[in-house]
Structure 1
Amino acid sequence: MNLSSKLHETAQALPEKLAYYFMGKETSYGELDAAITKFASGLEQLGIKKGDHIALLLGNSPYFVISLYGAIRMGATVIPVNPIYSPDEIGYILNNGDVKAVVSLDLLLPIAEKSHHQLPKIEHFIICDSNQPEAAGINKQELTIYPKMRAFTDVVAAGRLDYIGPELQEEETAVILYTSGTTGKPKGAMLTHKNLYSNAIDIGTYLNMDENDRMITVLPMFHVFCLTVCLNAPLMAGATMLIIPRFSPKDVFDMAREQGATIFAGVPTMYNFLYQYESGNPEDFKTIRVCASGGASMPVALLLNFEKKFNVRVSEGYGLSEASPVTCFNPLDRERKPGSIGLSIVNVENKVVDELGEEVQPGQVGELIVRGPNVMKGYYKMPEETDATIRDGWLYTGDLARMDDEGYFYIVDRKKDMVIVGGYNVYPREVEEVLYDHPEIIEAAVVGIPDPDFGEAVVAYAVSKNPELTERELLAYCDERLAKYKVPSRIEFLEELPKNTTGKILRRALRSQVIEAAKQ
C-alpha cells in the first residue's frame, strides 16, 4: 500500500465524502481521485516517466494536492520547493535535484522564464492560475511563447480517467525534501513510499484520526510537518482538510468556528500569534479535540497560557525531514507533560546516546537517535553525508535530548546551537524559557557568539509588549533565575524576530547579525 493507492481505495469506498474545503468550495474524494488520475495520465503524455523528478513551487491549494498525488501515482519523484525562495535558491534545488518538470503558480512565471534559459534539464513548466490580482499583469498568452510551458488545466484535461499507473515498490523514492541547510547547501532527504505511508498511518493512528475529523491545513504544504500531519494523514484516514492559503489568526479562528474543525496543528510561533490575537476566544476552538505543536520547541509558559485561554490541551511532538517526519508525540490517552515531546509513536524507536553511540541513563543529556520504517533511505547524491547520519540503521538527529523514567523525551537543544561558556554547556532553550516566563515578553531567542575570555558568550533577543521594559530590568530578572554563566551578556529588543516560512525563529540570522555588528 502507498499514499496514492490508499487514497484511491478511499475514493472507491466513499466517493461523496468531503476530501477538502478550499476558498468556499467543497471537493469530494471521488472528484479529487479523478483529478489525480487525469493529472498522472497528462504527465505521462508529456513524456514524464517513472523515476523522473518533478518540482512543486506551490503554496497551499488543491494544485499542490493534485500534483503531489498525481506525480506519485505515475511513479515520479516529487520535490516540494518553498515558492518564496530566491531564484538562486530555487535554481540550486532544481539543478541538484535533476528536475525534469516544474509545477508552478503563474506568479512565479518570471522565475520560470529565467529558469527556461538557465536550467536546460527542465523539459516542462506546468503553470497554475492563481486567480490573484498580483497575476493580472501576466499575459497568459506567454505560455505559448515558450514550448516548455503549458497550463495545469490543459495537462489535466488531456489525461484519461481509465489511466492505470505503474506498480510502485515501497523502497522507491516518492519525495525528496531539501533541508533548510543549517550548514552549507541544502541536502535532499530521499523519502520512500514506505516512509511516507507508514508515518502518515502511524501518526493518524496515534491521534485517533478518522473520517469524522476536519483538519485545519494552514502550515505550508511544502514543509514536511504539514505534508504528513495535515495532508497525508487526514487523506489516509478519510478525513477532511480545511485548507487555508496562508496563516493569519483571523482566518484560523474563522475556519475553526465556521467549519467545525477538530484538529489544529501549528508551530509555536503560530500559537503565539493566536494567543496574542485580541479577538480570539474559546468559542472559536470549541470543536477542536487535538492541538498539535511541532517544528520547534514550544515555550512552556506559552503552552500553559494558550491552554488556559482557549480551554484546549496542546500536545507537542517531534520530527525531522529525514524521518518523514514524526518520531515522538505526547499521548492523548494519558498524562501530557509540558515541555516534553512525548513518547515514541507506534512502530518508531527513539533513544538518547553518548558520543560513542551508547544509550545513556534516564535524565542524562545526549543525542537523540531514531529507528523505524519512517527513516529516509539517504541524502540525494550525498553518500558520505548519508553514512554520517544513518549508522547501523539509526538516524542521528543532531538534537540533544534526555528521557525521563517514564519514557518521555525532552529536547534540550540543537547540538550545533549549544553555547559553551568557560567550559560550561548553556542550552539556549533553557534561557529562552526564563525569558518567556516574563509577563511582558512575547518572543525570545538566544544565540552564542565568540568571546575572547570565555570562548563563547550568551546573547538574547526579545520582543516586548512593554516599550518601557529595559535591558537592565530583564537581565536582573534572568540573574535571579539562572546560574551566572547562563545569564545573557546582553539583551537586544527587536520589533520582530526573523523567521522562516514555517514560523521557526532563525537563530542563524541573529547570530550572523550580532557577529557582523561586533566587527564594525
Structure 2
Amino acid sequence: MNLSEQLHQTALIKADKPAYYFMDQSTSYRELDAAVSKFADELHKLGVSKGDNIALLLGNSPHFIISMYGALRTGATVIPVNPIYSPDEIGYILNNGDVKVVVALDKLSPLLEKLNPILSSVENYVICETQPDNGEMSKLSIYPKMKSFTQMIASGDVQFKGPDLDPEDTAIILYTSGTTGKPKGAILSHKNIYSNAHDTGEYLNITEDDRVVTTLPMFHVFSLTVVVNAPLLSGGTLLIVPQFSPKEIFRLIKKYEATVFAGVPTMYNFLLQYPDGTAEELESLRFCISGGSALPVSLLESFEKKFNVNISEGYGLSEASPVTCFNPLDRPRKAGSIGTNIVNVENKVVNELGEEVGVNEVGELIVRGPNVMKGYYKMPEESAAVLKDGWLYTGDLARMDEEGYFFIVDRKKELIITGGYNVYPREVEEVLYAHPEVVEAAAIGVPDPNLGEVVQCFVVKKNDALTEEELLAYCLEHLAKYKVPAKIEFIDELPKNTTGKILRRSLKTHVTQV
C-alpha cells in the first residue's frame, strides 16, 4: 500500500466525508480523489512518467495536496520547496533535483521567468491560479511551457490508473540544509513516508473522527507526515490554514470543533499571548503536538494551564520521514522530553564507537526503522557518513532515562533554529563572504523571546563605509527571509583557534541586544 492507493480506497469507503476544509468550503474524499486522478492523468499527458521529479512551490492549499498525491499516482517523485526561498536557493534545488515539472503559485511566475535560463531539465510549469491573470502571463517568455492547474483538473480523466509502484520506489526528496552550505536531498521511499504516517497516526491514535488544524507549512516534513498524511490515511479531516494567525486558529478550532492542533514553539507562544484566546475556544481539542524545535518548559506549562489541553512534544528529522519519538498519550508526558519510540521505530543513544551508553548518559541519538531514508540524492559519501549498519546517525546529542523517555541535550553542532526552521551558520556566511567588502564572517544563534533563536552575524569588513543596513539588504536578496540576520555587528577580528578555525562559541560573549 502507498499514500495514493490508500487515498483511493478511503474515497471508495468514505466518499462523502469531508477530506478537508479550505476557506470554509469543504471537499469530500470522492472529490479529492477525483481531482488527484485528473491531475495525474494530465501530468502523464505532459510526458511525466515513473521516476521523474516534480517540484512543488506551494503554500498551504488544496493545490499542494492534489499536486502531491497526483504526482505520486503517476509514479513521479515529489520535491516540496519552500516558496519563500531566495531565487538562488530555489534555483539550486530545481537544478540539483533534476526537476522536470514545477507546480507553483501564479505570483511566482516572474521568479520562474528569471530562473528558466538555468533550469535545463524543466519542461513545463504548472501555474496554480489564485488571482485574475489580466493577460500578464502571456507576456512571459516561458508562456509556451506554462500550463493551467485549473484547466488540468477540468480536462483530466478521473479513471486514470498509474503504474504499479514498489514500496522501495522513491516518493519524495526533501531538501535539508547542510553544513557545507548547500542543501542535501533526503530520498524517501513510498515505504518510508507511508509507514511513518501510519505509525505516527497509530501512536497518536489519529482516527476518522479527528479534525486536524493544518497550519504548519505543508512543504515541511513535520506538517507533511503528522498533519496531512497521517489524518488522510485515517480518514480524518484537515482544516487547512493558508497562513498562521492566532485569531484564525481560535476561530477554526471553535467553529469546526477541531480535535488536534500541531505547531512549533513560536506558534504556541503567539497563541498564549493572544489577548482574546480562551480555554473555551479550545475545549474540543484532544491534545496538541509540538515539534520543529525544543519547546521551553515554562511555555509548555503556561499553555497547558491556561487552555487546559496537553501538549505532546516529539522529535524527528527529514532523513527519518521525520518522526522517531513522541510523548505518549496513555502515560504521563515529561516536560522537556521528546518522548518515547513511536510504533516500529527504534531510537538508541551511543558513544563514538557506536556502542549503546547507559541510562541518562549523553551520546549521539541514532535511529532505525522503516522510516529511515534511502540516502542523499547524488551524494553517496554523505549518505555513507550517516547511514551505518541499518542505523541513521542524527548528529544530535541525547540521553534516555530509566523509563525510555529521550531528551535532546544539544543540537547538531551550531545549528540555528528560528521559528521552527533550520538555519546552518555556514549558508549565511557563504552569502556574506560573497560580498566584495567582507573579509570574514561568522553566524550564530542568539535567544529570541518569539522565535526561539534568531541569526546574528559578526563581520570583519574591508571598507569602513560598509553599513549594517547595506549588508542586511544584500542578505535579503540571497537568503530566505527567516535566514537573514536580525543583527550584524562589525568587529576587528574573529576569534580563532591555533589552526585558524573560527570559534563561533566564543562569539557568544560579544552578543549585544538584538
TM tier relative to shorter chain:
0.7 to 0.9
CA contact (8 A) 1:144 1:150 kept: no
Query: CA offset at residue 153 of structure 1?
Result: 1.4
Counterpart position of 2:75: 75
| Aligned residue type for 2:178 | G
Distance change >3 Å, CA 518–CA 22, structure 1 → 2: farther
Tell me by how many angstroms 1:24 deviates. 1.6
SS in 1 for 2:192: helix
Alignment-derived partner of residue 204 in structure 1: 201
Question: Given that residues 113 and 142 in structure 2 are in contact (C-alpha distance below 8 angstroms), is that contact kept between their aligned partners in structure 1?
Answer: no
Instruction: State the alpha-carbon separation in 2 of the partners of residues 509 and 402 from structure 1.
Output: 32
Deviation at 1:519, TM superposition (A): 4.3
Q: Name 1:323's counterpart in structure 2.
A: 320
Paired-residue identity, %:
62
Match in the other structure for 2:390: 393
Aligned ranges for residues 2-13 of structure 1 at < 5 Å? 2-13=2-13
Q: Do the aligned partners of 2:258 and 2:284 also contact (CA within 8 Å) in 1? A: yes
Number of matched pairs: 446
Contact kept in structure 2, 1:143 and 1:149, CA below 8 Å: no
Aligned to 1:103: 103
Match of 1:423 in 2: none
Partner SS, residue 147 of structure 1? helix
Residue 305 of structure 2 corresponds to which residue in structure 1? 308
Which letter does structure 2 place at the counterpart of 1:44? H
Q: 1:309 to 1:221 in 2, by over 3 A?
A: same
Distance (whole Å) between structure 1 residues aligned to residue 445 and residue 100 of structure 2? 45
Which residue matches 2:118? Answer: 118
**Structure-1 residue corresponding to 2:269:** 272
CA deviations on 1:165-190 (whole Å, 9 max, x unpaired) are 10011001100000033442000000
Amino acid at match of 2:337: S
CA distance in 1, matches of 2:492, 2:63: 46
CA 1:398–1:518: 2 relative to 1, 3 Å: farther
Letter matched to residue 320 of structure 1: L
CA–CA distance in 1 between the matches of 2:397 and 2:22?
39
Q: Any stretches of 5+ residues in structure 2 without a counterpart? A: 418-422, 426-441, 451-474, 495-514
Mapped partners of 2:406, 2:386: distance in 1: 20
Contact 2:53 2:99 in 1 (8 A): yes
Distance 1:315 1:40, change over 3 A: same
Cα distance in 2, alignment partners of residues 245 and 182 from structure 1: 31
Give the C-alpha shift of residue 459 in structure 1. Answer: 8.6
TM-score relative to the length of structure 2: 0.82
Partners of 2:68 and 2:78 within 8 A in 1: yes
**1:102 Cα deviation from its structure 2 partner:** 0.2
1:363 aligns with 2:360: yes
SS in 2 for 1:374: coil
Cα 1:197–1:144 change in 2 (3 A) is same
Which residue pairs with 2:147 in the alignment?
150
Kindly provide the CA deviation profile for residues 59-113 of structure 1, in whole angstroms up to 9, marking residues without a partner as x. 0000000000000001000000000111111000000000000000000010111
Instruction: Show structure 1 runs of 5+ residues with no match.
Output: 419-427, 430-444, 448-455, 465-497
State how far apart, in whole Å, the 2-side matches of 1:7 and 1:518 are. Answer: 59
Q: For residue 464 of structure 2, what is the aligned residue in structure 1?
A: none
| Aligned positions of 1:367-516 closer than 5 A | 367-417=364-414, 460-463=446-449, 509=485, 513=488, 516=490
Provide Cα deviations, 1:188-210, integer angstroms capped at 9, x if missing partner: 00000000000000010011111
CA gap of 1:102–1:505, structure 2 versus 1, over 3 A, is closer
CA distance in 1, matches of 2:86, 2:33: 33
1:346-400 C-alpha deviation (Å, 9 max, x unpaired): 1000000111111111111111000000000000000000000111110011111
Aligned counterparts of 2:68 and 2:315: Cα–Cα separation in 1: 24
Offset, 1:505:
8.3
Q: Indicate if the aligned counterparts of 1:143 and 1:151 stay in contact, CA closer than 8 A.
A: no
Contact 2:84 2:481 in 1 (8 A): no
**1:338 offset after TM fit, Å?**
0.3
Question: 1:117 offset after TM fit, Å?
Answer: 2.1
In the alignment, which residue of structure 2 is the partner of 1:421?
none
Mapped contact 1:267–1:504 kept (Cα < 8 A): no
| Whole-angstrom distance in 1 between the partners of 2:139 and 2:261 | 40
Q: Distance in 1 between matches of 2:445 and 2:225?
A: 35
Deviation at 1:16, TM superposition (A): 0.3
